[in-house]
Structure formats: C-alpha cells, structure tokens
Structure 1
Amino acid sequence: MNERKAVFPANRHALYEQHEYSAAIQSGDLLFVSGQVGSREDGTAEPDFAEQVRRAFTNLSATLESAGCTFDDIVDVTTFHTDPQNQFDVLMPIKQEFFAKRPYPNWTAVGVTWLAGFDFEIKVIARIPQVV
C-alpha cells in the first residue's frame, strides 16, 4: 500500500492553515490536488472574476510544480462555478492559456451556490512523471 504524502507549494496561502487541509496528496504516482481558488496570499478572494480564475490556475500551477508536475500531467479536472452560464465566456480564454495543446484532460464543470466567498474552484488529479 502506498503512503500518502502531503504536498504544498513554496508560497502557500493562508487557507491551508485556516481550514486544515493539504494542497495536494501524493499517493504512488498520482497527485490529488485540493480545490484551488483565486485567493491572495492572505486567503482572501480576488474580487475581479477574470483575475480570480487566473489566480486559481496560478495557485494550481504552483502546487503541481511542488510535486514535479505540469499541466501536461493532469488527467482529470473538476471545476466549480457559482454562475456558469455567465462565467464561461471569461473562463474559456484563461483555460486555454494553461491547457494549450491536445490531448486535453477530461473535465467536469459543476454549478454550485456557494464557494466560501469565491466564484471559481478547480481540482485535479495528475500523474507524477517517472524519474529515470
């Protein structure tokens, strides 16, 4: 059985300590990343939606990097949206900056009514590249 190992980015934001969770858990060659939001370093939400989405992806990138992964290693994505119908026009161009080439990971988008003061959250599963 593989042990789980907590993974945190170098400049982790305050939410991890405030809510007592890990940025990601490594189990074998899989990385299970907790939902990443567009938070500032103090844990508060970025008020501009486009910037909040960009920060969520940037926070995700930092967590992936801390485990030796990139966006190319992601196999599964789940996003949560407080107003999907009105947010997708802003989200899609930002998403394309980070997922620029095929094959794209599978993706599930879920509309929700509450994200603790945020409007967008992204969680992923990635395969950690083998070191040779």
Structure 2
Amino acid sequence: MATKTIIVPEGMEFIRDEIGYAPAVLVNDTLYIAGQIGRNDQRELVADKEAQFVQVFENMQRILETAGARFEDVVEITSYHTDMRDLPLYMEVRNRYMKGCYPAWTAIGAASLCGAPGYFLEVKAVAVIERGNE
C-alpha cells in the first residue's frame, strides 16, 4: 500500500492553508514537487530575473530538505518560461544547484505564469529518495 505524506516546509504553510495545495507530496520514495515560483518568505515576487530564478531553486531546496532529499535525488524537471530566450540564464542558475545532476528536463514556453505579470519562471520536479535499509 502506498504511503502518502504532505510536505510543507516552515514558512510555506499558507500554500496549503490559504491556496489549498501541497508544496510537495511524498508517495513511498517518490517526491512530487509542485511548481515553484520566485516568491520570497514575505510572499513577495522577486523582481530581478536572475534573483527570481535563484529564489525558485531556493524554494525547491527547502522542500527537498524538508522531505529528506537533495537535488541529486531529482529525476525529472519541468520548467515553464515566459521567454524561452531565458534558457541560458535558467541553465546557469540551475547548474549552481544541480551541478553534475542530469535529470530528465522539459522546458515549456508559457504566455504568463500565476495569472500575474512579472513571473518569468516556474519549475516542478520529481525526486526519488534513496532510503537505504530501514
């Protein structure tokens, strides 16, 4: 039988409580991370493009750590971009967090994200967590 655990890092409770979804769901050893955007702990959009991309990966890192995972455990990423010309910057930022990691990756162009202007990137991911012999 599958074990399902909702993953909510400290400071992200509003996502579950106000918006109505989980930042991530762990099913057995597979972690499904919902689309992460460049919003900081004050729930404000990070305006600078590179800083926004960094914030996306910082948010993902918090979720991974809360679930007991690392970027090395990520097996698939889907990134949504309002401007596909941002791919080199995206890859540069991604590689700061995932150097030497080679998950499956799909990049998708989107007219807008989050129904609001100023969002340049959203990233969702799947990770498989090696638990060892428990």
Distance (Å, rounded) in 2 between the aligned partners of 1:105 and 1:61:
15
Distance (Å, rounded) in 2 between the aligned partners of 1:49 and 1:16:
26
What runs of 5+ residues in structure 2 fail to find an aligned partner? none
Q: Post-superposition shift, 1:14?
A: 3.9
- Residue in structure 2 matched with residue 113 of structure 1 by the alignment: 111
Confirm or deny: 8 A CA contact 2:15 2:23 kept in the other structure: no
What runs of 5+ residues in structure 1 fail to find an aligned partner? none
- Residue in structure 2 matched with residue 25 of structure 1 by the alignment: 25
Q: Percent of aligned pairs with the same residue?
A: 28
Task: Map 1:2-13; keep pairs closer than 5 Å.
Answer: 2-12=2-12
Distance (Å, rounded) in 2 between the aligned partners of 1:16 and 1:44:
17
Distance (Å, rounded) in 2 between the aligned partners of 1:17 and 1:81:
27
Q: Post-superposition shift, 1:88?
A: 1.6
Distance (Å, rounded) in 1 between the aligned partners of 2:46 and 2:123:
15
Q: Post-superposition shift, 1:94?
A: 0.7
- Residue in structure 1 matched with residue 76 of structure 2 by the alignment: 76
Q: Residue type of the partner of 1:113?
A: A
Q: Matched residue pairs, number? A: 130
Distance (Å, rounded) in 2 between the aligned partners of 1:131 and 1:121:
32
Confirm or deny: 8 A CA contact 1:38 1:55 kept in the other structure: yes
Distance (Å, rounded) in 2 between the aligned partners of 1:128 and 1:13:
23
Distance (Å, rounded) in 2 between the aligned partners of 1:93 and 1:60:
16
Q: Which moves more between the two structures, 113-122 or 14-23? A: 14-23
Q: Residue type of the partner of 1:105?
A: P
> Alpha carbons of 1:14 and 1:42: their partners in 2 closer, same or farther (altered >3 Å)?
farther
